[in-house]
Amino acid sequence: MRLSALLVVSALAVQAAPDPGFLGTAYPLHAKPSFPAGLYHWIDSLAGSSVGKTKDAHRGEFLETHGRPSGEDLEHLDAFRAARLEHMRANPGRDGALPVPRSSALLGIFCAAPTLDAALAQAKRELSPEGFASLARALRHFGPKYESIWRDGEVPRVFLERARRDPRRERLADLLERMVRFYGVDIGSAPPPAIALVPVPDGFGTHAEAVGRHLLLEIRPRDDLAGQASVIVHENAHYLWTILPDERRQRLEKAAKDAGPPGERAWEALHEALPTALGQGVADREFRPDRWSSRAPWYHDADIDAYAKALFSLVARSLAEGKPFDEEFLRLAVARYPGGTQPAEAAPHVTPR
Q: Where are the domains of the chain?
A: 3-172+187-216, 245-347
Which stretches of the chain drop beneath a pLDDT of 70?
A: 1-21, 339-353
Q: What is the pLDDT of residues 158-169, one digit of tens each?
A: 999 999 999 999
| 40 CB burial (10 A radius; 0-12, 13-18, 19+) | buried
Closest CA to 43 of 128, 149, 125: 149
What local confidence, expressed as pLDDT, does residue 12 receive? 44
- Listed in order, strand segments (DSSP E) in the chain are 30-33, 94-95, 98-99, 194-199, 208-211, 214-219, 349-351
Closest CA to 317 of 305, 303, 301, 328: 328
Helix and strand counts by DSSP (H, E) for the chain:
15, 7
Percent of the chain with pLDDT over 90: 82
What local confidence, expressed as pLDDT, does residue 251 receive? 94
What local confidence, expressed as pLDDT, does residue 26 receive? 81
C-alpha 238/C-alpha 279 separation (Å) is 11
C-alpha 62/C-alpha 242 separation (Å) is 35
What local confidence, expressed as pLDDT, does residue 94 receive? 79
Q: Are 170 and 229 in contact (CB under 8 A)?
A: no
